[in-house]
Amino acid sequence: MTAWWVLGIFALALLALWFLPLRLKLRYDENGGTVRLHIGLISICLYPREPVKAWIILEKKRKKPKKEPEEAEEPQEEAKKRDIGGLIPLFRELIGLGTEALECLLRHLTVTDLTVQLAVATRGKDPAAAALKYGGGWSAVGALVPFLEQHLIIRRRNIDVIMDTQAAEDRIFTSGTLHIFLGELLHLGVYYGIRALKLYLRTKKKGGNRNGTSDQ
C-alpha cells in the first residue's frame, strides 16, 4: 500500500512539473526595455542585469591560478584539413536542425497579452503631412502584427496608433508575455538534443572510417 502512495505522489510531482508555467515578460518604452522570466511563482529579472562590482571581479582574477605554458605540438596540416572537411557537413545539418527546432518552439509558444501603442508626433506639421505620417504608423504596425501571427499564437492583443499634436518625437510602448509549459520545453530539448547527438556521432564515425582508410 505504501508503494502505491509513493508512486502516486511521484506521478503527481511529475505532472506538476510538466504543467509548470514558464512566462517571459517583455516591455519596452522610452525609458528602455525590461525582460523578466517567471517560473511558477518565482520571478527573475534577465534584463537589465545589475552591474557587478569591480572589486569582486578583481578578487576573482587574483584567485585564478596561473597556467604553465604547454609545449605546442607541431600542427599536422593533413589531419586538420580532414577534420575541417568533416565538420562542414555537420555544421550544415546542425543549422538545419536548429532552424527546425526554433520553428517547433515558436509553434508551442503562446503570447497571452500583446500590446503595441505608437504615438506619432505631429507638432508643427501641416494637416496633410500629419495625416501621411499617421497612416505610415498604422502601416508599420499593421505589417508587424500579421508577421507575428504567422509564427506565434496570440491570445489577446491591444494595438493602437494615436496622433500626438503636442509631442516633437514619436513614442512607442510595447509589452508582451510569452507562455510555455516546462514539460513542453523539456520535451523539445531532449528530442532535438538526441537528434543533434546522433548527427555528431554519425559524423565522427564517418571521420574515423576515412582516417582508417587513408592510413592503410
For 112-154, write each residue's pLDDT tens digit: 999 999 999 988 888 898 899 999 999 998 898 888 888 899 9
What would the pLDDT profile of 179-196 be if each residue is shown by its tens digit?
999 999 999 999 999 999
When pLDDT is cut at 50, 70 and 90, the band that residue 54 belongs to is very low
Distance CA 207, CA 13 (A): 44
- Does 78 have pLDDT greater than 60? no
What's residue 213's pLDDT? Answer: 57
What's residue 64's pLDDT? Answer: 57
- Does 51 have pLDDT greater than 80? no
Provide the whole-model pTM: 0.74
What Å distances lie between residue 196 and 23, 97, 158, CA to CA? 27, 7, 39
Report, as an integer, the average pLDDT of 58-83.
55
- Does 56 have pLDDT greater than 60? no
Distance CA 47, CA 127 (A): 40
Domain residue spans of the chain: 20-57+82-215
What's residue 26's pLDDT? Answer: 96
What's residue 66's pLDDT? Answer: 59
Distance CA 167, CA 120 (A): 8
What's residue 80's pLDDT? Answer: 55
Where helices occur in the chain by DSSP H, the ranges are 2-18, 54-63, 77-108, 127-151, 182-215
Q: Which range is least confidently modeled, 38-47, 66-75, 200-209?
A: 66-75
3-state secondary structure of 5: helix
3-state secondary structure of 48: coil
The C-alpha cell 546522433 sits at 198
What would the pLDDT profile of 85-104 be if each residue is shown by its tens digit?
567 888 889 999 999 999 99
Distance CA 44, CA 23 (A): 10
